[in-house]
Amino acid sequence: MDLEIRHLRVVNAIAEAGSISKAAAALGHTQPALTAQLQRIERALGGRLFVRDGSGAQPTALGTVVLSHSLSILSTHEELMRAVRQNDTDSATLRLGSVPGPLTAVMMTAARGLFPRAETSLLVNESEEELIELLVDGRLEVGLGLDYPGYELALPTELTEAVIAIEPIFVLLSAEHRLAGLPEIPLNALAEEVWLAGEGKDIRMRAQFRAACRRAGFTPRAVQRINASVTFPLIGQGHGVALAHALTPERANVVIRPLTDDPMWVRQRLIWPTQSPVASQAPQLRDALTEAYQTETAKSPAYSAWLRRRGRV
């Protein structure tokens, strides 16, 4: 792994905060995620950068060397990014980022409409934490993230967000499943199922799921991590169930159903650097995504019915 600017920010934040937990809060990360990232950085540099004791995290000799150079590197990087942001994005490169979701392709279409002369690219990232880092580093102009109520990631001060939608999380199951005929399914009725989970890095979704299962009075019998490409075939043939966005379309022999009492939620948000050249047009991009979300909602029988039952339509 090559050392990057975002890695220096992590090292600097830990040194300034004096502990990994405080640095995680300042950076908008979870403590386990920041600890794992520090370990990757230390492996790349060939030694420990901090010693953790009762008083927090103290730099080692190697950590002191790294810190002595990091401030000047970060300062130079910030000057460079300020100069880059002064360019006209409409005639430059527009770099979009997104976690996998139903609005990823829609964002690409909307951005190309707003910036017709820009060379637009898209990076799909499994973790919103990494997406935020790329935005802070100036390696993306706009990001589309997924956040979870109760497990929110606080944004650094240099980023701005706009919420597109807050939606319930549904469940996918075989059309032949014994519960498929119900309009809504109690989570505890799925206690004995095999849960098929994606290979994504976002631990907050998994934490929300475990907490919802605890509230429902059970521990999942089996959670199997699999590639997303085989999720629908496995569910269709009755080999498990899976959590899904409310906008997820049904496929052959697979149906989507709400969970009773809506135990899990997801928040879709647009994120951009406050000083980015696209900041002035971010509201138009937000409006385009909101309109597209409403259009997709109308196409989803399960989601539309859920909204009607709750008096939202």
> According to the model, what pLDDT value does residue 90 have?
43
Residues 265, 185 share a domain: yes
Identify whether residues 120 and 57 lie together within a single domain.
Answer: no
Same domain, 30 and 145: no
Q: How many domains does the chain have?
A: 2
139 shares a domain with 17: no
Handedness of CA 234, 240, 244, 249 (dihedral sign): positive
Quick one: average pLDDT of 148-170? 90
- The answer on 195 and 107 residing in a single domain is yes
The residue out of 85, 108, 133 marking a domain boundary is 85
Q: Which of 141-150, 249-258, 271-280 has the lowest mean pLDDT?
A: 271-280
Q: Which residue has the higher pLDDT, 242 or 229?
A: 242
Domain that includes residue 309, residue range: 90-313
Last residue of a domain, one of 85, 113, 128: 85
Indicate the pairing of strand 93-98 with strand 142-147: parallel
Q: Are residues 77 and 195 in the same domain?
A: no
Are residues 113 and 28 part of one domain? no
Last residue within a domain, chosen from 56, 85, 114: 85
Residues 147 and 269 in one domain: yes
pLDDT at 179: 96
pLDDT (mean) for 132-140: 89
Res. 75: pLDDT tops 80 = no
Average pLDDT over residues 197-201: 71
- Using the predicted structure, report yes or no on whether residue 270 has a pLDDT greater than 70: yes
Greatest alpha-carbon span in the chain: 64
Is residue 86 pLDDT above 80, yes or no?
no
pLDDT at 169 over 90: yes
> Is the pLDDT higher at 26 or at 140?
140
Q: Residues 9, 157: one domain?
A: no
Residue 201: which region, alpha, beta or left (left: phi > 0; alpha: psi -120 to 50)?
A: alpha
- Say whether pTM exceeds 0.75: no
